[in-house]
Amino acid sequence: MARLPYLNPADVPAEYRADFEQQLNVPGRQAIHIMKILANAPALMPKFSALGNALLSGSGLDPKLRELALEAVGIASGCEYEYVHHWNIALARAGVPRAQLAALPDFETSPLFSAGERAVIRYAMEATRNVRVGDATFAGVRALLDDRQLMELVLVVAFYNMVVRILDPLKVELEPGVVKN
């Protein structure tokens, strides 16, 4: 059970209701519980969501690499909510093959990943587990990505580390019926 209530628009002050309703009605959004938890801080929820949406629609980093990194954050942190929602996004919107998603725990040795994909996953795993990223790991993504792409990777991994640090301490549950596709 979540440690804070899942709020509805009627539960927040009137000046925040329109923003909250807009966040709940984003086409294709399945991650509703996180929005309902964030509504406990109604002035911050739309700003949080705006940054997340901007990072997911960034035009520099390949969406497949982004979603591999986000799945790595979910795995490294043990956050089921993050892992399941981004598994589905990776399949439906980013073109990540199901076989790669299933092989992520063994990405270092799996033949399903390119050297570049391994570098991105390694970066996300290391940043999530240790915060500090070693020189060799950073050099791996530096060799693959230009400055803009690298900054987007750093921002995406950092933001979703914040997300899992909201989801897990507050025990945000998967929405009914949401499963890995």
Would 36 be classed as within a structural domain? no
**149, pLDDT greater than 90:** yes
pLDDT at 130: 97
Cα angle value 133/55/85 (rounded, 5°): 90
> Looking at residue 138, which CATH number applies to its domain?
1.20.1290.10
Would 87 be classed as within a structural domain? yes
Please tell me the distance from the alpha carbon of residue 66 to that of residue 55, in angstroms, as a whole number: 9
Range of the domain at 102: 63-165
Would 95 be classed as within a structural domain? yes
Q: What percent of the chain has pLDDT over 90?
A: 94
Coil, strand, or helix at residue 145? coil
Residues 6+ apart with CB under 8 A from 154: 127
DSSP state for residue 171 in the 8-state scheme:
T
Domain count, the chain: 1
pLDDT class of 57 with cuts at 50, 70, 90: confident
- Pick the range with the lowest mean pLDDT from 25-29, 106-110, 151-155: 25-29
Residues 6+ apart with CB under 8 A from 176: none
Q: Taking residues 14-29, what's their average pLDDT?
A: 92
Would 112 be classed as within a structural domain? yes
Q: Taking residues 31-47, what's their average pLDDT?
A: 96
**34, pLDDT greater than 80:** yes
pLDDT at 59: 79
**58, pLDDT greater than 80:** no
Would 115 be classed as within a structural domain? yes
Please tell me the distance from the alpha carbon of residue 99 to that of residue 149, in angstroms, as a whole number: 25
Coil, strand, or helix at residue 78? coil
What are the CA-CA distances from residue 129 to residues 55, 97, 101, 156 (Å)?
A: 21, 25, 19, 15
pLDDT at 27: 87
Output the six-digit token pair for 102: 């299933």
pLDDT at 28: 85
Would 14 be classed as within a structural domain? no
Q: Considering the chain, what is the average pLDDT of its residues?
A: 96
Give residue-wise pLDDT tens across range 96-135.
Answer: 999 999 999 999 999 999 999 999 999 999 999 999 999 9
- Surface-to-core class of residue 153, CB atoms within 10 Å of its CB (0-12 exposed, 13-18 middle, 19+ buried): buried
